[in-house]
Amino acid sequence: METTTKKQLRGGEFLVKETTAANIFIREDFSEEQLMMFEATKDFMKTEVFPHLPRFEKGDYALVESLMKKAGEMGLLGISVPQNYGGMGMGFNTSMLICEEISSMTGSLATAFGAHTGIGTLPIQYYGSEAIREKYLAKVASGEWIACYNLTEPDAGSDANSGKTKAVLTPDGKHYEITGQKIWISNAGFADVFIVFARIEDDKNITGFVFHKDEVTGLSLNEEEHKLGLKSSSTRQVFYDKVKVPVENMLGERDGGFKIAVNVLNAGRIKLGAAVVGAAFKVIGFAVQYANERKQFGKTIGTFGAIQQKIADMATMAYVADAALYRAGQDIEDNQNRLLAAGKPEAEAKLKGIEEYAVECAIIKVLASEAMAFVADEGVQIYGGMGYSADAPMEAAYRDARISRIYEGTNEINRMLTVDMLLRKAMKGELDLIGPAMKVAQELMDIPDFGAEEDTSYLAQEKKVLANLKKATLMVAGAAVQKFQTKLADEQEVLMSLADMTIQVYALESAILKTEKLAGKIGEEACKERYEMTVNFLHKAAEICNKAGKEAIYAFAEGDEQRMMLLGLKRFTKVAPENLKNIRRSIAAKLLDANQYPFA
Amino acid sequence: MKILVCISNVPDTTTKITFSSDNKEFNKAGVQYIINPYDELALTKALELNEAAGGGTVTAIHVGQADAEPNLRKALAVGADDAVRIDAAPIDGFFVASEIAHYAKDKGFDLILCGRESIDYNGGMVAGMLGELLDWPSVNVITSISINGGEAHLERDIDGGREVLTAKLPFVGSCQKELTEPRIPNMRGIMMARSKPLQVLPVAANTAHTQVATYAAPAPKAGCKFLEPTQVEELVHLLHTEAKVI
């Protein structure tokens, strides 16, 4: 891996610093071995999953269970579990690549896989004592035992730390008796291993425990939930009636459960990004195939501009999310490796390595799940009436996509976290937001620089727009912080706008740098459509930043200040006119010719 | 048993085939290569035979250039113990067969398996030629193998039916679809492939008997015409004037 000369940005620094194409990772950088794993996963999907697609819509929980066992035999459940615990010991980005493919065909398997390998495995791997890891990790990595994660309660969803489930120490001091109710528990119906969070006495925070279901009594499950999608993913309520768990089964420390939940969610968020990007590639493939087959007015509908426009925009969103995904993934992996090399223990290196990029994880969760929502929606539209039919693949894709904006923290929670975490980093001195924000405020007072010579190098104009969008974001964020100070958390609408701008900045930068890096590898001509997707996205990103910026400014600035900020916003979100119609036609032509999404 | 499996490196089945240099060369630009699917069956069957026998080795051999090595490493990931690449640009089936025969003749293999044909040039020659060059029996288009002591019990497709035969080891067999299901490499296999040997040997005989004069793409498929059941005369007319089959 090319880590030696990389100059890695810290988490959140993208907003205030520039980075170069050489410093980001793109999927085209994966090694032969990583790609062989990816191809093997594709073969697994083709032979074991694709032939059964309709069964996933009929509550076939046994099918998902058997696929999880087969995935375990293939080694797909332990990609990033250390080798001494029976895993493959591969890095974070490899686990994302495998997650992308295995999650691409049905949300039912995606959710079972994500729940098991993410929130079902990581608390054991990162927080389990040596004895716990010895007992559970190899069997979870091989799929011999399937895991589930019991956090959410009827009154504790987004506010996860408010759970009412209790853990009471037995008089002999050897066990905790856990009593309470957990809801929306993925894999509960066939899980062997349960990770559960409960409060001990009046602790401020919850505490995590792990146990095997055969070793306890008092555990019971409700019926399978009836859901909009994920029809074959087991989702049940789990009832705890004095479930006796040995004190040694505590994960991490007493009062430390909320920290586990938060830290494990970082990985869950970005991996959800991988899952939906995989699904988006497949949905785009189906849509393109349909557009090439379906004839109306004597022509295939793919020849119509209105359809081509959709195909181009779908591909653009998938391309951008993909770029952001593996960029952040490798930053996490490199940071984890750096901490390991510095002598940190494995679990701590992994946790701290990803925590640094918690902002990026939240950004990718929102970006990718909303890209998928758009792709699935337009996929239905391209299929027309057949898109609404359960006999064609779009109907299930559309329903399954919906949950991704809800679980792993709703997109609203993730938007607030994006801003909140950035501001916290600034307050802790880890990130200099104030300096650059003040510089932008100063620039507003100056006369705009009209005279600078045009840089005509590849992507230079796009980078200029990107730099301006960063300024726009810093200008609005800086003013909002000044205005509301510690009360900013109460202005959720403003936080949403700031998050929207921040997300667009990260996404656009990732797309520009990905295109630049790949063009360096395979040539600008071979990257023609990728460049066009970058430009297509740039216009959208600038528009979103303009709209979000305006709404925020309207919400807190008045009079001269408002006028000046609106002028600044206009200047910083300005984009040169471009014939987007022709650009989209060219992008669509490439997909229609390939009869699939050809950039992954 | 000690089994040699011949691996061919072929364009992915979805490749759009084009030619360059006055239709004398296959245009390799942007083409993804895979292990010939019939050879994957040979490899899987070799592993299964050794698993059933409780031991043995499988060597994967390829006659070709370095760009085929990822697929040889895939063969190692699927389960081959070692791999050999004869460093040459193969010209025809005889070239490939004579290189493999030269490698195999003094290595004590019990069995050589290959695919019934490669899906690119579809020559289907290597198995027969190998048998001849090594003076071993060779059996084509095998759908079933079981081995008992020094004798193999084989089934093969023949026109309109199935032939059952026996052959003494060592022999050469070419594998047909029904023989087995191809094995997907598992993650551990892929990681173990890192440390398995892949030997590159110089070309030995360097003999070919044929060379390609020119390629031609098939005529594009014409669209279907639909006629009403009552339009018999129109049908006859079209079959005569357009399709020119009557």
Domains of chain B by range and CATH?
2-214 (3.40.50.620)
Q: Which of B112, B117, B116, B34 is nearest to B78 (CA)?
A: B34
DSSP β-ladder status, A295-296 and A299-300: antiparallel
Q: Report yes or no: B221 at the A interface, CB cutoff 8 Å.
A: no
**Residues shown for chain B:** 246
Non-local CB neighbours of A453 within 8 Å, separated by 6+ positions: none
d(CA B195, CA B208): 34
> Looking at CA atoms only, how far is residue A318 from chain B in angstroms?
22
Average pLDDT for runs of 10 along chain A of length 600: 65 95 97 97 97 96 98 97 95 98 98 97 96 97 98 94 97 98 97 98 97 97 97 98 98 96 93 98 98 97 98 98 98 96 94 96 98 98 97 96 96 97 93 91 78 83 97 96 92 97 98 98 97 98 98 97 96 96 98 96
Read off the pLDDT of residues B104-160 as tens digits, 9 standing for 90 and up.
999 999 999 999 999 999 999 999 999 999 999 999 999 999 999 899 999 998 999
d(CA A418, CA A473): 13
What is the 8-class DSSP label of residue B85? E
Q: How many CB atoms lie within 10 A of CB A390?
A: 11
Interface A-B, measured as beta-carbon pairs within 8 A, has a size of: 38
Question: Are the beta carbons of B187 and A43 separated by less than 8 Å?
Answer: no
Q: What is the average pLDDT across B232-244?
A: 90
Residue in chain A closest to B181 (alpha carbons) equals: A47
- Tokens 């305006």 correspond to A550
Non-local CB neighbours of B88 within 8 Å, separated by 6+ positions: B63, B64, B65, B95, B99, B203, B206
Q: Is the dihedral of CA B221, B226, B229, B234 positive or negative?
A: negative
Question: What does the pLDDT read at residue A449?
Answer: 66
Interface test with B, best of A32, A36, A525, A592 (most B CBs within 10 A): A36
Compute chain A's Rg from CA coordinates: 24
pTM for the predicted model, two decimal places: 0.93
Q: Which two tokens stand for residue A430?
A: 């880890």
CA distances from A274 to A325, A435, B60 (A): 7, 34, 35
Question: Are the beta carbons of B187 and A75 separated by less than 8 Å?
Answer: yes
Contacts of A44 in chain B (CB under 8 A): 184
Q: Report yes or no: A293 at the B interface, CB cutoff 8 Å.
A: no
CB A176 within 8 A of CB A198: yes
Q: Report yes or no: B184 at the A interface, CB cutoff 8 Å.
A: yes
CB B136 within 8 A of CB B181: no
Is the pLDDT score of B166 beyond 50? yes
Q: Which of A120, A376, A151, A355 is nearest to A258 (CA)?
A: A151
Question: Are the beta carbons of A75 and B188 separated by less than 8 Å?
Answer: yes
Q: Which two tokens stand for residue B205?
A: 């005989």
Whether residue A355 lies in the annotated active site: no
Contacts of B190 in chain A (CB under 8 A): 33, 36-37, 40
Q: Report yes or no: A72 at the B interface, CB cutoff 8 Å.
A: no
Q: Which two tokens stand for residue A255?
A: 């009062």
Classify A194 as helix, strand or coil: strand
Q: Which two tokens stand for residue A348?
A: 């701590």
CB interface of A with B, residues 341-360, below 8 Å: none
A74 → closest Cβ in B74, B186, B193: B186
Non-local CB neighbours of A440 within 8 Å, separated by 6+ positions: A471, A474, A475, A478, A568
CA distances from A102 to A64, A68, A111, A275, A276 (A): 12, 10, 10, 8, 11
Q: Which amino acid is at A22?
A: A
CB B185 within 8 A of CB B70: no
Question: Can you spell out the DSSP letters for B201-237?
Answer: EE-SS---S-------PPPPPPPP----TT-HHHHHH
Non-local CB neighbours of B96 within 8 Å, separated by 6+ positions: B6, B63, B90, B126
Average pLDDT, chain B: 93
CA distances from A364 to A310, A372, A405, A499, B68 (A): 22, 12, 11, 12, 37
d(CA A532, CA A542): 15
CB interface of A with B, residues 73-132, below 8 Å: 73-76, 78-79, 88
Question: Are the beta carbons of B187 and A37 separated by less than 8 Å?
Answer: yes
DSSP β-ladder status, A235-246 and B198-202: unpaired
Question: What does the pLDDT read at residue A2?
Answer: 43
Distance from chain centroid for Cα A239: 30
Question: What does the pLDDT read at residue A452?
Answer: 66
Beta strands in A259-385 (DSSP E): 295-296, 299-300
Q: Which two tokens stand for residue A415?
A: 């938007």
Distance from chain centroid for Cα B186: 22
Q: Which of A65, A333, A360, A408 is catalytic?
A: A408
